[in-house]
A and B are shown apart, each in its own frame.
Chain A
Amino acid sequence: MKRYNKIYITALSTLLILSACNKQLDQKPYQSIDQASAILTAQDVQVTLVGAYNRAVLADLYGGGVYIYADMMASQTVYDWRGTFQTQTDMVNQAITIDNGSVNGTWYDGYQVINATNNVLANLSKAGSAAARSEGEAKFLRGMTYFDLARLFGRDWNDGDPASNLAVPIILTPTTSVTNDSYVKRATVAAVYAQAISDLKDAEAKLPASNTFYANKYSAAAILARLYLQKGDYQNAIIEASNVISSGAFQLNANYADEFPYPGQIHSDNTSEDIFMMQVTPQQGFNTMNEFYASADNAGRGDIVIKDSFVAGFEKDDLRRGIYQPDSDGNLRVDKFDNVDGNVHIIRLAELYLIRAEASLRLGQSGGPLSMVHDDIKLIRDRAGLPEKTTVTIDDVMSERVHELAFEGGFFLYDAKRTSTAANQVSVGALTAFSPKLVFPIPQIELNANKNLVQNPGYGTN
């Protein structure tokens, strides 16, 4: 019977080993934590907020994509495209395909920011003393993102009826699982603008005047000013621009070129003129402006060569033309983005003067001597080494915008759109400003995943 004992012993020890092994089946990830335990404390809310900035500085969003892609569709007379990325070539050719990866990137990056901010906003009760600031920062990022998504994926405010034109879906709660509610519909341009305004106004109210490199009160006011100008709400544009300007928190740099430092690829801080910048370091973030505008001398792809005719359009003594220099191969480059790990310009003080001046003129205010418009433009022209304009006209302001802000904020497209009317459209390359080809398509992959979405006009149905 000894043999049977062996069997029993074997069976028993087997059972013991097996139960030990089964416990091993509970494996937890090392680098990640369960969503249920991710946001429990004030610190958790704060790091979630930081995570929202991390998403915002992705390549296709505030790494620069939202600005440079807009300009790609509208700067045929300004620069020559020498790039080979099909996704960008299609933008320059004003023939974006519904499966354009960069367009999808902007959409997806945008909603990653929105979901991250929603996570913050849903957990403000845990944020303790930082609740107001956290709410302000989250709403700033969310509001700005909705504004830019609306500008890219929807028709311009000026173009048709914003109350019926579709922009992007509005989502205000964090995602925890996929439910029927995840299959959202596109909201109208008016609704998305309203959401952006509401978020940015809350942000302006709740944020402190100073908040290191994070968004502060004036970041929100400045983006609001830009939004109101886009919307043609000049009164509010003036109010928000003045909020920033009169705060005294920001000063124009003495030299135009100082706004675009190139300190040898090491991270640099914001200048006194920067109201908000996305921070890029070698460890995090991506500077899309550098990628496409900078020549290979400065770690870019060198895909964009500025036309001589663009620089010829500057006034003779304009110091700002100094930012346009040939690279080592003689190709004319814009040297605003030559730092591969440089911060990405979101908005700076000079734009606020230009917004205020333009909005004032469009409201019929004077551009003559001693007017606010005159003084605002004088500041800009002084720094550029140019004589003052005795009486500033709307054309003067628009010219200053081009020469001051070129390539920084997608203004070639957005200004063309907002200064057009259906009957009198500004020409944009071979098209006119309200062409449906100057609106991003809704990404095909998103249409496939969500039957409640509809494609923009001009992109067929697939």
Chain B
Amino acid sequence: MKKKLHILFVLSFCFSFAFAQSRVIKGKVTDQKDGLPLPGVTVSVKGAPSAGTQTDLNGLYTLTVPDAAKALVFRYIGYKEADLPITGSTLNASLEYDPKQLTEVVVVGYGTQKRSSITGAISSVSAKDIANTPVTTFEQALQGKTAGVNIQANNGKLGQGISIRVRGVASINGDNQPLVVMDGIVISQDNLSGLTAATDPLADINFNDIESFEVLKDASASAIYGSRASAGVILITTKKGKAGTAKVDLSASYGFSGPSRHRQFLNTTQWLAMEERAAVGAAPFDQASDPADFPTVADALAADKAYVEGKFTQYSAGSTNWTANNTNWEKQAFQTAPQQQYDLNFSGGTDKTTYYFGGQALNQTGILKGNAFQRYSGRVNVDSKISKILEVGANLNFAHVYNERLANDDGFNTPLQIVALSPVTPVIDPRSGLISGTPPGSSSSFPVYYNPLISVGNEYTHTNIYHTIGTMFGNLQIIKNLTWHSDFGIDQTNQNEDSYANSLTYRNTSTKTGSGTNAEAIQVHFTTNHYLTYKSTIGTKSTLDATGGFSYENNHFTNNSVSGQQFPSDAYRTIASAALINAGTSTQSAGVLVSYFGRANYAYDNKYLLSVSARTDGSSNFGANNRYGYFPAGSIGWVLSQENFLKSFQSLSNLKLRVSYGLTGDAGKDYYRPLGLFTGTAGYNGVAGQRYSQIGNPNLKWEKTLQTDIGLDWGFFNNRLSGSLDYYNKSVDGMLLDVNIPETTGIAFQRQNLGKMYNRGFEALITSENFVGKFKWSTSFNVAYNKNKVTYLDGQQIKGLGDLNYVIEGQQIGVFYGREYAGVNPANGDALYYLNTKNSDGTLNKGTTNDFNAAQNTVLGNAQPNITGGITNNFSFKGFDLSFSFYGSFGNKIYNGGGQYMSAEASNGFDNQTIDQLNYWNKPGDITNIPEPRLFYANGTGASSRYLETGNYIRLKQATFGYTFPKALLSKVGIDKLRIYVNGSNLFLITKYKGWDPEVSSDFLSDNITMSNDFYSAPQPRTIVFGLNVGF
């Protein structure tokens, strides 16, 4: 390597000497639009890009050029390149703004690259595309903006987990979230939540500080990140100042949210009738199981009826007038949720130093009672050329997030579980004047369950997150064309969760005198990267750039928590006052990654492009012999539109074929997995103990994904119509898998490298400038099709967290697998299931049975969508602008895990029922899908395809209407820019799904396998905000 560098240096010297004879050219570069000087424009001699300079603050330049030079080239990001002949010693240039050029330079791993020379599959989203989206996190804002990137929030709670899947689910036990790299530093995405569901560390990032996103989707683009790149990479570049006048931008918005959809439940009359009917349905069974007590069915029915009617009185707050109330509990879970956001940014700089200071205050209220999210963040980006050869800079992001969180979807105290309460129950118990169920008074069985409204004000989980990401970097130009880059970054998060539930929540917490937990998680993620970049032109037609270096990452976690009970009174809320410390723990863990990487890009005549990259990663996740993984990738590009045989097609402005092939890896998120371990968390009655906790696997090694991508970039009519088309195939081998081993060993599973899987698919992106005159209309459309299939698991079946999600050979990850519901026996109202036993000829026996156990599990549908896409339309006329974005997702089913309670035709207790249950079987001959109600006889409530529904939907994610005031008017009052807008999100939804929202993955049922489960999950909020942007 060193020798090669040596030769390159010698070569570059030779070029320098060749231009020894010279003269001086001066000039000024201005913006064609307003004639203002353009600082920082690259001016170089045509044919010798290495001989160049940059314009200063006043747009002036001085360049010594060889005698032979005929023309100068002026390049500036965002402007069309100008190529002007040298006519004397002065050469002024006027550059034309070209918005399309903004994406000309693309951020790639450890560097930047010209869009035209990219050979990998990279999607870019610029800040403009997501500005002012009234959501909490940038992931939500990115939804539907790029092909093949499927983003989904768990539910409508604020600040909680969001899944991002680039080109499908990449792994079973590995890391499925793409690697997120912000300004060159890997950002931690580890969930630090110790209480309730996962929180989203990326929610700490103010996306208004972000300039652009690049999603690296294939091996060619991502393999330089080697490990962790199998799930794709998202590169984030934050805003930087530009040389020139200082700019001040102020944004403010105010709005409110509500649930995007409601779900209908039985009213009082309907509920009373159905429960009575359930008693009738239960009586014959009660008689059969206890003939001593109930000699006849009539005896059983009398007892059941008395019991049910006793409950009616009990749930009617003791009143025998059961129809006095008709409470719509579902609406009680929600609130109208105001939100406001303020951003203030300063940016600017000189030709030597640029700066960006950004600050934000965000205050959102959740649509569920008790849910809120606040973020206060600041950013400082400074970049200074302190000498001709040395540039240094620092990026600092600090944020405080305060999140008032709610119990998980499976908690009796989560607001939407309120729908189980009976419509006969009044919100306020007339006997006490308090919310029904509030102690003192009957604590055990009024209302039917704990009333989540009691938790509002009497229980909280306050999460305070202090997240700081700081980076310092330096670029040293060692010799011409060769730059040394070093950076050091620390991504540190302190997350404190303080939860408390007072005595009034007793029925839920089981502690009569209050309980609380305080948990502190600290993550310190240290990263340092060092690499050399070499960029050169060889001869007149070839360019070569090469990057090589190494990086080191250390990730350390510390967790402490303490729980207390027995508080003196409800006035005491911190654990200092708890008489009983019932739990406490303190743990640590750490992982290290050491990496070496290199990449070379070669382009010939802007036509033939070649890129190779390689990375070696050493991970502390593996034992000494399997620590290092090697991840090479290569790609070629052919710009067909530059070929003479296509030059005659005037309308064709760009046609590029890309092919890439390479390997990426995954070390898994879990540390120490090769080791066989004992743990000390096994005490007994206050005496210390230890137990066997993990079975070792010293042979554990990297999971590897072989990726192929074939892509075509195209553009017509000067790129007014452009797009790309990609085919990819990602094959995973040696998957990191928790393989079930016989539990008779005392251990349930072992981490092994087992299994093969692929994701194959197509992605298409089309952008079109439909109108470009005064009335502008542009459309951007993306669609992706992904086929995921597990091809080998050694016959294993892995069950997810939910009732029906599995991993099975020959199927998608997370496929729904279980009993197939066959409807209702018209003769007797029994729920029926298809037997699905194998016939001797291999076909499935589609006979039916009322015995759930006699029916065999079968594949019931996919949990992952296979087609996702988005379409965004932008219109502008004079100062008005209008845009709307649709997002669509197709191909998956959704399992309603709450169905066995809320859609159980009153066969599973007194839970209120969804309105569709009214169509229950009532008498012989009835043809319906809803079985006979049989109180506590669980008729058809087992986990089956009965509770599966299609999850297809199309949703209007965003719509914005804005007006920008004319400059002429504003300049009089010293304002540079003023825009007012109104934005609506989740305004409407097209779906057949009967639940609240098909965009769902219940927070306690979400992992790599468990997807598309609904369980009293809140819908996405429908939000309307009004805002303004002012620039000075």
A residues in contact (CB < 8 Å) with B: 3, 6-7, 10-11, 14, 17-18, 21-22, 24-36, 38-39, 44, 47-55, 57, 76-77, 80-82, 84, 86, 89-90, 93, 95-99, 104, 107-108, 111-112, 114-116, 119, 168-169, 171, 174-178, 182-184, 213, 265-267, 279, 281-285, 295-297, 299-300, 302, 307, 309, 327-329, 331, 340, 429-430, 443, 445-446, 448-450, 453, 459-460, 462
Contacts and interface: CB of A to CB of B under 8 A. Distances in A.
B47 interface: no
B594 A22 contact: yes
B691 A54 contact: yes
Interface string B669-686: 001100111111111111
Contacts of B911: 84
Nearest to B622: A25
A327 B484 CA distance: 76
A297 B512 CA distance: 9
A54 B682 contact: yes
Given A178-B695, A279-B685, 6 more contacts: A18-B596, A30-B588, A35-B677, A76-B289, A449-B742, A459-B853
Interface string B850-862: 0111101100000
B681 to A, nearest CB: 7
A328 B290 contact: no
A378 B857 CA distance: 55
B739 to A, nearest CB: 8
A430 to B, nearest CB: 5
A50 B478 contact: no
Contacts of B691: 48, 51-52, 54-55, 112, 116
Contact of B690 (A48, A98, A282): A48
Interface stretch (B378-386, B439-447, B492-500): B439-447
Given A31-B681, A296-B444, A178 B745 contact: yes
B742 A97 contact: no
B748 interface: yes
A53 B689 contact: yes
Nearest to B479: A3
Contact of A77 (B292, B741, B748): B292
A52 B938 CA distance: 37
A107 to B, nearest CB: 6
A285 B686 CA distance: 11
Given A184-B742, A328-B444, A27 B592 contact: yes
30 contacts: A10-B478, A22-B594, A24-B554, A24-B620, A32-B675, A32-B679, A34-B676, A34-B677, A34-B678, A38-B678, A39-B678, A48-B691, A50-B689, A53-B684, A54-B683, A77-B289, A84-B911, A86-B943, A90-B938, A97-B942, A98-B853, A111-B746, A115-B747, A178-B741, A178-B745, A302-B444, A328-B444, A430-B288, A449-B742, A460-B856
A25 B1005 CA distance: 33
B530 interface: yes
A31 B852 contact: no
B581 to A, nearest CB: 9
A68 B879 CA distance: 73
B744 A282 contact: no
B770 interface: no
Contact of A86 (B443, B507, B682, B900): B900
Contacts of B411: none
B254 interface: no
Interface residues on B, range: 35 or more
A307 B853 contact: no
Contact of B293 (A30, A77, A111, A265): A77
Interface in B270-309: 288-290, 292-293
B373 to A, nearest CB: 32
B805 to A, nearest CB: 13
B786 interface: no
A462 B806 CA distance: 15
A275 to B, nearest CB: 17
B938 A86 contact: yes
Contacts of B442: 328-329
Given A25-B592, A115-B692, A33 B745 contact: no
A279 to B, nearest CB: 4
A213 B685 contact: yes
Given A89-B936, A175-B745, A183-B742, A97 B620 contact: no
B843 interface: no
B2 to A, nearest CB: 7
Given A31-B681, A175-B695, A462 B857 contact: yes
Nearest to A118: B746
Contacts of B227: none
Contacts of A107: 743
Contacts of A116: 691-692, 746
B688 interface: yes
B846 interface: no
Contacts of B446: 329
A21 B589 contact: no
Contacts of A84: 901, 908-909, 911
Interface of B: 2, 5, 9, 288-290, 292-293, 314, 442-446, 478-479, 484, 507, 510-512, 530, 550, 552, 554, 565, 580, 582-583, 587-592, 594, 596, 618-620, 624, 627, 671-672, 675-696, 740-748, 750, 795-797, 799, 851-854, 856-857, 900-901, 908-909, 911, 936-938, 941-943
Contacts of A34: 675-678
A57 B684 contact: yes
Contacts of A104: 743
A47 B690 contact: yes
Contact of B938 (A14, A93, A115): A93
A281 B565 CA distance: 13
Given A18-B550, A27-B592, A32 B678 contact: yes
A29 B675 contact: yes
A202 B594 CA distance: 55
Nearest to B752: A178
Contacts of A18: 550, 594, 596
Contacts of B680: 31-33, 47
A331 B290 CA distance: 19
Contacts of B682: 47, 50-51, 54-55
Nearest to B684: A53
Nearest to B628: A25
Nearest to A97: B853
B594 A279 contact: no
Contacts of A93: 937-938
A460 B853 contact: yes
A450 B693 contact: no
Q: Which of B554, B672, B678 has the most CB of A within 10 A?
A: B678
B837 to A, nearest CB: 8
Given A50-B689, A55-B682, A111-B745, A21 B942 contact: no
Given A29-B677, A175-B747, A449-B743, A47 B445 contact: no
B796 A448 contact: yes
Contacts of B590: 27, 30
A50 B742 contact: no
Nearest to B290: A77
A309 B744 contact: no
B694 A32 contact: yes
A31 B744 contact: no
B903 to A, nearest CB: 14
Contact of B744 (A50, A171, A267, A328): A171
Contacts of A98: 853
B688 A47 contact: yes
Contact of A25 (B620, B741, B799): B620
B603 to A, nearest CB: 26
Q: Which of A24, A34, A119, A462 has the most CB of B within 10 A?
A: A24
A27 B620 contact: yes
A307 B303 CA distance: 11
B229 to A, nearest CB: 19
A119 B692 CA distance: 9
Nearest to B856: A462
A460 B624 CA distance: 46
